[in-house]
Amino acid sequence: MKKYIKVRDKLKKQIQLGEFKVGDLLPSEHTLCRTFSITRTTARKALDELLKEGFIEKQHGKGSVVIERRQSLGLLSVKGFSEAVGENVRTTFLQKPKVDNWSDEIFSKINSSDSRAQCVSFERVRFVGDFPVMIGKNWFNGNIIPGITETEFVEGSFFKTLSNRYLIEVTGSSSELRAEAASERVAKLLKIETGTPILHISLKFKTSNPKLAIYSELHCNTSKFPIGSSYFM
């Protein structure tokens, strides 16, 4: 298995468990080299991933400092909801994965191979506490991940299910963001007034399987939990 993934996940777990707290310095790159028997290239690659995911910031001459993760919906652009927000999150299905049609709700350009394939979709509402925050509907080529309609998600996460059961990793995403007035349906589900401004996010995920793209349309009530994102070079 890839070494930098192992190092990255070890450190990530230590941060999540509080062994490294906000403001703490992670072991230096040279220390990581010794403890994991790797070279600096590999150590730096692991730290770069933590940087991209918003766990640390690097300070030239000092080290890698654990930083506060946004108390918002987190690095939305990277992975799914459950990885981003932390605890106190609940999800309910409006529609479990089932064979469906490619909907014209999908804003992203659909890969030509997808449009000829069988479409599977599912739809969920996400809560933080008792507060409905987001409605998300997802579409993908069902031929690529057979049996998904009968599978229970691993820890409630679609992306974890992809990773654990099908060995498919999300490798990137592109998105478009729009502020819109909530439709009647969306408003009802988010328990807000029809016409309230909501954030509409159209996402297309790329995965390690080039044949599998995941299309998502999200409708978010950002009044209490804004969407956060960060970018470091």
Partner DNA sequence: TAGTGGTCTAGACCACGGT
Partner DNA sequence: CCGTGGTCTAGACCACTAG
Selection from a copy of itself, DNA, none that 40 binds (CB < 5 to 8 A by kind) is DNA
If one asks whether residue 223 binds a copy of itself (CB under 8 A), the answer comes out as yes
Out of 16, 35, 41, 164, the only residue in the binding site for a copy of itself (CB under 8 A) is 41
Query: Token pair for residue 127?
Result: 């809560």
If one asks whether residue 65 binds a copy of itself (CB under 8 A), the answer comes out as no
217, β-bridge pairs: 137, 202
Query: What is the rounded distance in angstroms from the CA atom of residue 30 to the CA atom of residue 33?
Result: 5
Report the b/e string of 112-148 with b at 16+ CB within 10 A: eebeeeebbbbbbbbebeeebbbbbbbbbbbebbeeb
Query: What is the rounded distance in angstroms from the CA atom of residue 177 to the CA atom of residue 167?
Result: 30
**Stretch 43-62 residues interacting with a copy of itself (CB under 8 A):** 49, 52, 54, 59
Letter for the amino acid at 179? A
Closest by CA to 29, choosing from 62, 55, 66, is 62
**Coil, strand or helix: which one is 164?**
helix
**Coil, strand or helix: which one is 98?**
strand
Q: Say how many C-beta atoms besides its own lie within 10 A of residue 26's C-beta.
A: 21
Selection from a copy of itself, DNA, none that 50 binds (CB < 5 to 8 A by kind) is none
- Give whichever of 116 and 231 is closer to a copy of itself, judged by the CB atom: 231
Interface positions with DNA (CB under 7 A): 2-4, 26, 28-31, 37-42, 44-45, 58-64, 210
- Give whichever of 42 and 161 is closer to DNA, judged by the CB atom: 42
216, β-bridge pairs: 138, 203
Query: Token pair for residue 151?
Result: 């599978």
Distance of closest approach, residue 72 Cβ to DNA, in angstroms: 25
**Stretch 72-131 residues interacting with a copy of itself (CB under 8 A):** 72, 77-78
Distance of closest approach, residue 78 Cβ to DNA, in angstroms: 16
Distance of closest approach, residue 4 Cβ to DNA, in angstroms: 4
Q: Which residues bind a copy of itself (CB under 8 A)?
A: 41, 49, 52, 54, 59, 70, 72, 77-78, 170-181, 197-200, 202, 206, 210, 220, 222-223, 226-233
